[in-house]
Structure 1
Amino acid sequence: MMKGKISVLLGVLISSILVFLTGCAPQNGPGGHGGPGGPGGRPPSPENEEIQARLGDTSILMGSVVVPVSVEACGTGAGFSRLVCLTDLLKSSASSEVLELLQLDYSVEKAQSWSNLPAGAFPSRPGVFLGELTSDQLGIVKAILQEAAGSAENEGFDEMVQTLNADDYIGTVSTDYKAGYSSYNSKIAFLGTPSSTGTWQLYYGGHHFAFSNTYTDGQLSGATPSFRGIEPFPSFEMNGRVNVPLLQERDAFAALLNSLSKTQKSAATLDGTYRDILAGPQADDAIPEEQEGLSVTELDESQVALLLAAVQTYVGDIDDADAKVYMDRYTAELADTVLGFSGTTDMDSEDDYVRIHGPSLWIEFSLQSNKSTNEKGNHPHSVWRDITSDYGGQL
């Protein structure tokens, strides 16, 4: 317990120093000690100047991107071999300049370089911007993401598209032109060479998104950290559709929390106020060792089903076969899993927060005030981590 408290205090001290040096709020902060940051105030640097020169402000319209006929060479059967074939196809179509940004050596340090911040505020995010690719290359990227991600409505690939649409929306209302609010500015990279041997990661993300599937010797060895955020929330119209990403996560948690009895709610209530998630970007050691909250053994059968439905909204972001492996593991660990929350049970107010903490599983959902749209309201940050297989267990 003491170790966890020391880690939190050190995190607060480091965040305070960063605020003093850069004029920015930290990217994330533990409950009652900080909050999310905006993109302004970064000091000039060669890296940031290079990113600023590459930023775009147009929509890639990922939802309507056409998958090229060339992907037929990789077959139609879902699986790892098709995924590798698609990555090879994308690389073979790339110029030397694009390939230099797309194909990188693997390192845990690179894999950890993800953020909730937009491209202009986090220049160290690796990869090539989606907007720097040709239309055919974007179609191959679409096929890659569809292969690796879940196919359910509002989950997996569909959630990716809606989050890209959110950045396009923010780009229409934001006054911070250097932030890079546009679907153009999300990135994709291969950390390590995609192959049936060795370790490599499919790195995809940008503002409010991190998808980090790690593969080792032809098998998925880690699907986390998996970060999602969305603004505006809970819904908005953009790019020809109504977008509701993370609404299903919020509703699943609200259904679970509102099912609790008075006694169960008391046991599940966490101390303090949580203004953001704990285990966000650059906070890989923030998960407390000690569990806090209501044991899942105190839930009845219907409540356990509601909890698993909430977990499924995260695990379902990866392909079905791999998602089943994770769900089976988390179900087997339910007796050692706890539920905790702070704020209201409806999960619709600022500082509402909920987490699920098991031997392997860590999920957080946090509501905070809007930062990028200048509109009244709240928006969520959320993360799924697997304590045993973050970054493919490479730590």
Structure 2
Amino acid sequence: MVRPFVKLSLLLLIALQLVAWQTAAAQAKSPAESMTAAATAFLAGLSPEQRSETIVAFDAPERRDWHNIPKDDRKGVEFGELDADQQKLALALLRSALSDDGYAKALKIMALENNLREGEKNLQGAPLRDPERYYITIFGEPGDKGTWGWSFEGHHFSQNLVVRDGKVVGDTPSFWGANPATVKIFVEGGPEVGTRTLAQEEQLAFDLLASLDASQRAVAVVADTAPADYRGPGQPEPPRAAPEGIQASKLSAAQREKLAALLATYCSNLAPELATARLAEIEAAGAERVHFAWLGAAEPGVGHAYRVQGPTFLLELVNIQSDPAGNPANHIHSVWRSLHHDFGVATAAK
């Protein structure tokens, strides 16, 4: 028999642990205070021409124009156009939103552009691959009062934050990708061979799938073939389809722990206070209402995908594309979207 969820679920316990892991320095400032200080310092370090590239009105349509592909034209100032001191200030802004692990993953994702450039050097018409081709944009005026936001975006990485009256009110869309998902050939400037930048994001879902019995798997597996990509890439609104797969309330206690660990992995890419807020929101809306759906193969190296959806969020991971060397299913796209405040835009609960 499946035991019911207890009042203090594993998600909330993880959230409390994230708070406990914060250092004294991190506790001295809230994420919003850290972002405001970092954004102010970044803007102060720019030339007038660079500031004009960087600052966009908060209500401009560009704020919700995002994508994970290697676009030719993006909003904001390019990281590669900044000098060394300005780059440090830009990275300090990124660091203000992320945990140590999340920040390390972000730098690995950027470094993987070196692998792509080397792997595609003989490919006609290949996109420009450059670990410094990421863009920083400030929307509105950073401050303790009013609403402002910022984004850090490029190929396989897009973070979008909104601050209102000294509180972070939006931290999605949050896109994390990796190509190659597992590094098989060393390239100068890229991660070491064997590096799996998004290892836990993928492996924990495999572990959960493997733990399901036949009847549970019949509900959880919603397609024998993985989709070509996640739903709604680059769209200003998250997909609104009903959740698919098996509901958390139908999982055993051990299986729910695996699902909670998967969600915590994504949330813990953020600064601890932001991670805690995400997990607490899931808990408040009913962790037992979260659904887990699997699509495609049940083993690595063959196209696979999963979707995790609750009343407040949608998480998707797809690994179907080959890496530059032709290794199949070695190219991850993953995205977390809020169903209530994507881009900091409040949406009525469904």
Percentage of matched positions with identical amino acids: 23
Contact 2:162–2:169 (8 Å) recurs in 1: yes
Give SS of 2:222's match.
Answer: coil
Quickly say closer, same or farther: Cα 1:272–1:280, change in 2 above 3 A. Answer: farther
Task: Tell me whether 1:88 sits opposite 2:88 in the alignment.
Answer: no
Aligned counterpart, 1:144: 93
Aligned counterpart, 2:328: 377
The CA RMSD over aligned residues, in Å, is 2.2
Unaligned runs of 5+ in 2: 1-24
Task: Tell me whether 1:159 sits opposite 2:108 in the alignment.
Answer: no
Could you tell me which of 353, 356, 364 is aligned with 2:305? 353
**Which segment drifts farther, 273-282 or 301-310?**
273-282
Q: What is the one-letter code of the residue matched to 1:157?
A: Y
CA distance in 2, matches of 1:357, 1:86: 33
Instruction: Summarize the alignment of residues 206-355 of structure 1 with structure 2, pairs less than 5 Å apart.
Output: 206-235=154-183, 237-238=186-187, 239=189, 241-242=191-192, 243-271=195-223, 273=225, 274-282=227-235, 284-288=237-241, 290-332=242-284, 333-346=286-299, 348-355=300-307
Unaligned runs of 5+ in 1: 1-73
CA distance in 2, matches of 1:283, 1:257: 31
Contact 1:162–1:244 (8 Å) recurs in 2: no
Quickly say closer, same or farther: Cα 1:278–1:98, change in 2 above 3 A. Answer: same
Could you tell me which of 192, 202, 211 is aligned with 2:140? 192
TM-score (norm 2): 0.83
Could you tell me which of 61, 64, 76 is aligned with 1:127? 76
* Alignment size in residue pairs: 313
**Which segment drifts farther, 247-256 or 171-180?**
171-180
Quickly say closer, same or farther: Cα 1:235–1:201, change in 2 above 3 A. Answer: same
C-alpha displacement of 1:200:
1.7
Q: What is the one-letter code of the residue matched to 2:169?
A: S
C-alpha displacement of 1:394:
4.9
Q: What is the one-letter code of the residue matched to 1:159?
A: K
Aligned counterpart, 1:71: none
CA distance in 2, matches of 1:295, 1:184: 41
Quickly say closer, same or farther: Cα 1:192–1:283, change in 2 above 3 A. Answer: closer
Contact 1:86–1:140 (8 Å) recurs in 2: yes
CA distance in 2, matches of 1:231, 1:142: 22
Give SS of 1:204's match.
Answer: strand
Aligned counterpart, 2:119: 173
Q: What is the one-letter code of the residue matched to 2:179?
A: E
Task: Tell me whether 1:391 sits opposite 2:337 in the alignment.
Answer: no
CA distance in 2, matches of 1:76, 1:189: 26
Q: Which runs of 4+ in 1 moved over 3 A?
A: 74-78, 175-178
